[in-house]
DNA sequence: ATGAAAGCGCTAACAC
DNA sequence: GTGTTAGCGCTTTCAT
């Protein structure tokens, strides 16, 4: 009720409670031994004055920013990349951050600016950070290596750098891919094409491995001619249709496993222009279980990835005091059979 | 290159440059008169030592957090609400924040916790904030009124409280709705139903007004029986199908204007189960131009809203020093005719 | 169990 | 132009 535009200082609380400022601090931070009666008196005074500690001063004195940084990759038209993907991961991080009393600083990478992740720590803007959409390219490796060298806590989500010992939360894309392709094979398909994502993502390697394993297990020879590469955009899926249409018509390909839903949907649309219908003229399975996969028709079979949980785990690893797990976490994924297979 | 785990202090820079710490500050902040030679010497020393100022200390001394807070509404399953919507607005805010040298603090509202927006300011966690998904309900009004009373700078996006003089960036939903319905009328539809969103959003009132204006202008009598309410979820659209199916079959309704794409798509799916096809058995137009609207088939006619720009403008109003525009901004929307009309 | 006081690393007024 | 110095509001030793 006591509303004033000037800041209510700790000093006033101390005076009202008849104690020193240090004691106010102790009470508010629950540190050191405090007589219960004093504690109550201080709490009451603080409540009465509507005192809230100045986070700026606190953080400065503690030399802790209280922030966890989340680095988002630059994506030209945001929604080109899966917004679903980021929204889920971010929410998971948000939940964990809140639980650990951290604030969440959102950092949008820019196309031109260098990836100076370490600067975030040097300037004390963050105490830890989570890198989303990291790629295995020289600049990224250098930026991460610097973080590691200087001992700054960070965690990667959905991307591994196996040779380095980085803290990571990933999903089991090898098995997701394997299961998906196995499902296609079980459905009677034999000439399964693979529309993969860029090699800079570890998931691409994982999915390729799963694809190969499933084929090998079924005794289907691997053919480079059936492996395509897109960039996860709908457009790249659409364009891949041009390269596949004839081959599907002459039965050189009878099904496609795409590395994400967006490409799968672009592909569906592209092939439709060639009179080819998913689930009828060819089998199709996507990846991510994005909103779109449930909305398109025919409904897209896909692999669901626990993005929310991945974000939550990553933040927990960094922020939770008890959880000192430094091993990589790899979460399971799940095949969802719908109408295209 | 000079890499050390301990912080490089301003003192060392001062020593190396042979000046006082204050001069280092002046140079780095471009404040006060400085001899060019000194400036260069300091810059060189800072570069050589790899000095970066401690943002925590800076902000504390300046009594400015350097953060703009973005408050996200609580949405049970995040992607239930339009993630597209938030991703776009957030990116726009991100761009402006960066341009104005602010960091972006993401704040997830929780269902249980009260909306104590003012506390963000009192604790100095933010210097300004942008409220997304605000609703016209008592608790929200109180929280915003408090911000206003205490003079804290904030801006609403896509929501107006007309009686209050809050800083706002909105889109012209009245006109968007009017244009959409006008288009349906021009396409020959006469019994146009309206699936609106919750009344707690100003856009719902705006869209209703636009709907009424278009009907009035065409001399079509308004019928309460054709006005339905959903909650912007796909599910609520799906459920509305139950209430509309019979009426469409007996021609009491020949087209539907839905307040967002998700509901429109849910409705399409629901009506399909009754053998009704959008664009064939009834006209349908959505709102938002979300990814899904382009992906569904038939492709959904819709109204595109400049969410990215709205976010950017909101942040600019709050953060840009020159822009002292306190009037409300209302951005235009655009009708996109696709396959369902 | 509590108070006094020394910082935290910077900014900004004031002096020269 | 540049140096000196007093804070900023808190935490945290060190006394008592």
- pLDDT for A80 beyond 70: no
| Closest-CA residue to B264 (of B253, B249, B290, B254) | B290
B61 touches strand C (CB under 7 A): yes
Give the per-residue pLDDT at A336: 98
Respond yes or no on whether the N-terminal peptide bond of residue A19 is cis (omega within 30° of 0).
no
Nucleotide nearest A37 (Cα, C1'): C1
A206 with A108, same domain? Answer: no
Average pLDDT over residues A39-65: 96
Give the span between the Cα atoms of B21 and B19, in whole angstroms. 7
Q: Are residues B321 and B268 in the same domain?
A: no
Residue B249 has pLDDT above 90, yes or no: yes
CATH of the domain at A316: 3.40.50.2300
A255 three-class SS = strand
With CB atoms and an 8 Å threshold, state whether A5 touches B150: yes
Instruction: Please report the residues numbered 209 through 228 in chain A whose beta carbons come closer than 8 angstroms to any beta carbon of chain B.
Output: none
Q: Is residue B323 part of a domain?
A: yes
Is the Cβ of B54 closer than 8 Å to some Cβ of chain A?
Answer: yes
Whether pLDDT at A2 is above 60: no
Q: Spell out which residues of chain A touch residue B91, defining contact as CB-CB under 8 Å.
A: 78, 108
Residues A80-107: what's their mean pLDDT?
89
Nucleotide nearest to A10 (CA to C1'): D9
pLDDT at residue B6 in the model: 55
Burial class (CB in 10 A: 0-12, 13-18, 19+), B230: buried
Does B257 lie in the same domain as B324? no
Query: B195 with B47, same domain?
Result: no
- How far away is chain A from the Cα of B223, in angstroms, using its nearest Cα? 31
A252, part of any domain? yes
Q: Does B124 touch chain A (CB under 8 A)?
A: yes
Considering any atom of strand D, list protein residues whose CB lies within 7 Å: A 7, 9-11, 21-22, 25-26, 28-29, 31-32, 53-54, 57-58, 60-62; B 18-23, 26, 32-35, 37-39, 60-61, 63
3-state secondary structure of B288: strand
Average pLDDT score, chain B: 93
pLDDT (mean) for B9-13 = 85
B183 and B221 in a common domain: yes
Whether A133 and A18 share a structural domain: no
User: Are both A24 and A85 inside the same structural domain?
Assistant: no
B59, part of any domain:
no
Structural domains counted in chain A: 3
Q: What is the pLDDT of residue A291?
A: 87
Compute CA distances A227 → A212, A222, A246, whole Å: 11, 9, 15
Distance B18 CA to C5 C1' (A): 32
Does residue A5 carry a pLDDT above 50? Answer: no
- A104 inside 8 A of chain B by CB: yes
Summarize the confidence of residues A84-99 as an average pLDDT: 92
A341 belongs to a structural domain: no
CA distance A152 to chain B (A): 10
Q: Is the per-residue pLDDT at A81 higher than 60?
A: no
pLDDT band, residue A246 (cuts 50/70/90): very high
Same domain, B167 and B212: no
Among chain B residues, CA nearest to A261: B295
For chain A, say whether B77 makes contact (Cβ under 8 Å). no
Position A36 pLDDT exceeds 90:
yes
> What is the tens place of the pLDDT at every residue in A283-302?
999 999 998 999 998 999 99
- Smallest CA–CA distance, residue A103 to chain B, in Å, is 7
- Report percent pLDDT > 90 for chain B: 86
Q: Using CA atoms, how far apart are residues A36 and A46, in angstroms rounded to an integer?
A: 15
Strand order in the sheet with B192-196: B227-229, B192-196, B255-258, B283-285
Domain that holds residue B258: 173-304
pLDDT at A193 over 90: yes
Q: Does B91 touch chain A (CB under 8 A)?
A: yes
In a domain, B294, yes or no: yes
> Is B117 a domain residue?
yes
Q: How far apart are CA B231 and CA B243, in angstroms?
A: 15
The rounded distance, in Å, linking the Cα atoms of A271 and A209 is 26
pLDDT band at B82 (very low <50, low <70, confident <90, very high): low
CB contact under 8 A, B105 and A110: no
Contact residues, chain A, for B56 at CB < 8 Å:
56, 59-60, 63, 65, 124
As a whole number of angstroms, the distance between CA A219 and CA A209 comes to 15
The CATH number of the domain where B28 resides is what?
1.10.260.40
Using a 7 Å cut-off to protein CB atoms, list the covered nucleotides of chain C. Answer: 1-5, 7-13
B residues 15..44 contacting A (CB < 8 A): none
Residue whose Cα is closest to the C1' of C7: A61
Question: Does residue A58 lie in a domain region?
Answer: no
Give the position of tokens 């659209």. B237
A195 and A279 in a common domain = yes
Instruction: Establish if B61 belongs to a structural domain.
Output: no
The verdict on B300 and B313 lying in the same domain is: no
Whole-number pLDDT of residue A84: 81
Question: What mean pLDDT comes out for the span A310-335?
Answer: 90
Q: In what order do the strands lie in the sheet with A283-285?
A: A227-229, A192-196, A255-258, A283-285
- Residue B288 has which token pair? 């938002």
> CA B253 – C1' D6 distance (Å)?
76
One domain, residues A124 and A188: no
Q: Is there a contact between B98 and A78 if contact means CB atoms under 8 Å apart?
A: no
Closest CA to B257 of B160, B158, B159, B183: B183
Which residues lie below 8 Å from residue A6, measured CB to CB, with a gap of 6+?
none
Contact B149 A3 (CB under 8 A): yes
* pTM score, whole prediction: 0.94
Best residue in B49, B295, B296, B308 for a mutation probing chain A (most A CBs within 10 Å): B295
pLDDT confidence of residue B3: 39
Query: What local confidence, expressed as pLDDT, does residue B322 receive?
Result: 75
* B290-306 pLDDT tens trace: 989 999 989 999 999 99
pLDDT of residue A6: 54
A231 lies in the same domain as A276: yes
pLDDT at residue A78 greater than cutoff 70: no
């Amino acid at each position: 009720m006591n509303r004033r535009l000037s800041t209510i200082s700790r000093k006033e609380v101390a005076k009202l409670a008849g104690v020193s400022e240090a004691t106010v601090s102790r009470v508010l931070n629950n540190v050191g031994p405090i007589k219960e009666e004093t504690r109550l008196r201080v709490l009451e005074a603080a409540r009465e004055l509507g005192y809230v500690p100045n986070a700026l001063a606190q953080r400065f004195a503690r030399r802790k920013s209280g922030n966890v940084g989340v680095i988002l990759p630059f994506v030209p038209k945001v929604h080109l990349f899966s917004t679903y993907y980021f929204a889920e991961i971010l929410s998971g991080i948000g939940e964990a951050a809140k639980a650990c009393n951290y604030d969440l600083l959102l950092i949008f990478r820019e196309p031109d600016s260098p990836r100076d992740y370490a600067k975030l720590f040097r300037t004390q803007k963050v105490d830890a950070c989570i890198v989303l959409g990291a790629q295995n390219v020289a600049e990224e490796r250098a930026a991460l290596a610097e973080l590691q060298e200087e001992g700054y806590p960070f965690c990667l989500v959905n991307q591994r750098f196996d040779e380095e010992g980085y803290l990571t939360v990933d999903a089991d894309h090898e098995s997701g891919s394997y299961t998906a392709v196995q499902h296609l094979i079980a459905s009677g398909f034999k000439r399964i094409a693979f529309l993969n994502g860029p090699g800079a993502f570890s998931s691409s390697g994982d999915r390729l491995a799963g694809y190969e394993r499933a084929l090998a297990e079924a005794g289907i020879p691997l053919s480079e001619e059936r492996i395509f590469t897109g960039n996860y955009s709908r457009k790249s899926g659409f364009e891949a249709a041009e390269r596949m249409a004839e081959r599907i018509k002459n039965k050189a390909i009878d099904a496609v496993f795409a590395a994400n839903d967006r490409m799968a949907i672009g592909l569906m649309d592209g092939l439709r222009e060639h009179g080819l219908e998913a689930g009828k003229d060819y089998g199709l399975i996507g990846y991510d279980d994005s909103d779109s996969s449930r909305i398109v028709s025919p409904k897209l079979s896909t692999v669901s990835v626990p993005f929310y949980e991945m974000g939550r785990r990553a933040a927990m690893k960094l922020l939770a005091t008890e959880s000192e797990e430094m091993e990589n976490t790899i979460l399971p994924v799940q095949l969802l059979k719908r109408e295209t297979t």
